[in-house]
Amino acid sequence: MFKYKGKDYPCCASLTMGIIGGKWKTVILYHLMDGAKRYNELRKEMPTVTERTLSLQLKKLEEDGIVKRKVYTSKPPLKVEYALTDLGQTLIPLIQSIADWGDYLAEKHSIKSA
């Protein structure tokens, strides 16, 4: 058994998937690999995600210490940026491998993009 942030996981793979699993978390992390992005930039890069889902997933990633949220309040309008934390950056090789496998699948198995 593994315990992380008060939650029990039966194995290390379960722990990893508990943090980055789901339809959108890995996609969010993929878009943050190259640096901080504003909320609206993420929305444009993921046009099929709902605003509610994006907000909830960002909040969960922040709670898990994977993403940090920085608010700039020096002048209106309010500016919020999201970036990977140091812990989140340790996921880059994993996220890149997932993306590379998707590229491989699309190229080798003739999956057409929409």
Contact between 72 and 79 (Cβ < 8 Å): yes
pLDDT band at 73 (very low <50, low <70, confident <90, very high): confident
Pick the CATH number of 2-108 from 1.10.3720.10, 1.10.10.10, 1.10.760.10, 3.20.170.30: 1.10.10.10
Output the pLDDT for position 112: 61
Both structure tokens of 42: 């993420």
**Each residue's pLDDT tens digit, 24-71:** 999 999 999 999 999 999 999 999 999 999 999 999 999 999 999 999
Dihedral of alpha carbons 56, 59, 65, 67, sign = positive
Q: Where are the domains of the chain?
A: 2-108
